[in-house]
Amino acid sequence: MATLRSWVSSLPNQFAMQNSAVSSRSTVVPSSVIKASSGDLLMNEKDCLKRRLILVGVGAVTTSLFPARFASAEGVPKGYQAFVDFTDGYSYVYPSDWRDFDFRGHDSAFKDRFAALQHVRVSFIPTNKNDVHDLGPMEEVIFDLVKNVYAAPTQIPTIYDMQERTIDGKNYWTFEYDLASSGFSRTAFATIAIGNGPWSEKDKKVP
């Protein structure tokens, strides 16, 4: 638990304010987000040639996370489009009528043209862990992540479901959760995974 709490506390404070997309409940597994490191952290680790990336996903109900090799047209469901980032090694599908948008500190993001709160976004944080299992038990990691990172102090978190998937030997944790406050609540999905890759800080156009 000490390792887990250390990891959770290392997340940038802004991540707690940039939480999740609104979606209806569904059995469809969506994707999403990977959180970014700060420039100071990057400079402190500039001698490292490779870094492990932890994928923390928050997104809408209609997206799914896949390895970067998932790029063939026949593998994309009708009505969806694939976003593939070969450099950072990830991909996901999203509704074809969604549009991309700039989101501070994120590597990629798409949103519904009319319901802007329904969206998917991806960013990165560095970690020295090799696998999500290294973070601790799934239930404890997800509970701490939702309570201490996604939820604001005034919100009451509820976790509905947790699932583990293994794709090409890589473990993914996907979960559904709700954040409720007085007169308002939002339900979202998130995916967590860890993978190898070179770490680079990307310049994003901030609206």
pTM, two decimal places: 0.61
pLDDT grade for 121, boundaries at 50, 70 and 90: confident
Q: Decide if 66 is inside a domain.
A: yes
- The Cα 110–Cα 100 span in angstroms is 4
Q: Which residue has the higher pLDDT, 78 or 33?
A: 78
Q: Decide if 192 is inside a domain.
A: yes
Q: Decide if 110 is inside a domain.
A: yes
**Phi and psi of 16, rounded to 5°?**
-65, -25
> pLDDT tens digit string along 145-168?
889 888 999 999 999 889 998 887
The average pLDDT across 27-40 equals 31
> pLDDT tens digit string along 9-26?
444 433 333 333 333 333
Beta strands in the chain (DSSP E): 51-56, 64-66, 80-85, 90-95, 99-100, 108-111, 119-122, 125-127, 156-167, 170-181, 184-197
Written as one letter, the residue type at 183 is G
Q: Decide if 173 is inside a domain.
A: yes
Number of domains in the chain: 1
- The Cα 183–Cα 185 span in angstroms is 7
- Among 192, 193, 136, CA closest to 2: 136
Is the pLDDT reported for residue 198 higher than 70? no
Q: Which residue has the higher pLDDT, 169 or 26?
A: 169
Residue 158 has a pLDDT of 92
**Phi and psi of 144, rounded to 5°?**
-65, -40
Q: Decide if 202 is inside a domain.
A: no
- Listed ranges 45-59, 100-114, 193-207; the one with the highest mean pLDDT: 100-114
Q: Decide if 59 is inside a domain.
A: yes
CATH code (residue 71): 3.40.1000.10
Q: Which residue has the higher pLDDT, 116 or 193?
A: 193
Domain that holds residue 29: 2-7+18-42+49-197
The number of helices, as runs of H, and strands, as runs of E, in the chain is 4, 11
Q: Decide if 205 is inside a domain.
A: no
